[in-house]
Structure 1
Amino acid sequence: MYRQEPFCARRVFRGAALGGEEGVKMSLGRWPRVGPRCVPGGVSGGRESAEGRCKKVTSGRESKMTQQGAVLQGYNNELVKCIEDLCMQKEELNKQIQQAEEEKNKLQHEIQVLSEQLECVCENLAQKVASRNELDKILAETEAAYMKILDSSRTLLNVLKKEVGSLKHSPDLKTNVT
C-alpha cells in the first residue's frame, strides 16, 4: 500500500514558497547557479569589451530567471494549497468514516438488543399458542362430552315421558290416583 507523507512535502514546498535563494535551496537540496555567464563572441559581434558583453547577457538572464523563479514560486504555492486541500479532504473523510462506523456499531448494538427482544417475544408467543391449542382441545372435548350429556338427557326425558304416558293409561294407576 502506498503511503503518502504530506507533512514532509509541505516542509519542502513551503520552504520553496518562501521564495528567494533559501526557498530554492530547500526545494532543490542545493544552491542554484546564479551569476554572470559570458558567451564568447558577445552580443553585438565583438565591438564591446568582454565585461560589457557579460553584463548584458547576465542582466537578461537574471530577469528571465527572476520571472521563472516567480512562476516556480506560483506553482509551488498552488501545489502547497492543493496538498493542504487534499489533507483537509482526507481529514473530513476520516471524520465521516468515524461517524459512519460509530453509527454502524450503534445500529448493530440496537439490532442485537432487538434480536434478543424478538427471541423473548417469540418464545412467549409460542408458549401462549401452545396454551391456546391446549385450551382448544379441552374445550372441544368438553363440548363433545356436554353434547353426549344433552343427548343422554334428551333420551332420558323421552323415556320418562313415555313411561309417564303409559302409566296414565294404565287402569291400576287411575284407581289409586282418585
Structure 2
Amino acid sequence: MNDAPCLLVIDDDPAFNRVLSRALVQRGFEAYGAQDPESALALAREHQPEYVVLDLNLDGSSGLRLIEPLRAVNPDCRILVLTGYASIATTVDAIKLGATQYLAKPADVDAILKALNATDVLIDDDLAAGPMSVDRLEWEHIQRVLGEHEGNISATARALKMHRRTLQRKLAKRPVKE
C-alpha cells in the first residue's frame, strides 16, 4: 500500500498538467492529472485526493465550479486555485467556496507546495497593494462581473455593455501589476 499523499492536478493545458504531475510525483506525491471537470470528479471519487491543484480557467469555464463537488468527495482536501488571471475578486470567491489557497501563475513546484501546506491564506503582495491603477481597477471589475456570470463570456460582455470580442481580448492579456 502506498503511503504517499494523493494529489489531483486539474488543468486543461496537457503539457503543464503532465509536467506538474511528474514533478509532484518526484516530490513524494501520488499524483493524477485531469483536463476537464468530468474526469477530475471521476478521479477525485476514485482516489479521494488530500490535495488538489485547480486551474481557475478550464477551457473557458470556471474552475471555481469544481470546488464544492471536490469538497463533497473529501471535505478535508486542501484545494489550491492556480491561475494566470489573478484578481482580488476571484481570490475572495475561491476562498468563500472552500479553496484553501490561491496562487498566480507562473508558479514553480516549491511555491505550489508551500501554498498547499500553508495554514493561512497567502495573498500575493501585488494583489494586496494599493491604490490600484485605472487599468487594474478595470481588470478587477471585469473579473468580478465574470464571476457573477459563472465564467460565461457572452453574458459578461452583455452585462459590461461591451462587445464579446473586446472582452475576450482584454481577458487574453495578463492582469496589470500596479
Query: By the TM > 0.5 criterion, same fold?
Result: no
Per the normalisation by structure 1, the TM-score is 0.16
Higher relative contact order (CA 8 A, sep 6+): 2
Structure (1 or 2) with the greater strand fraction? 2
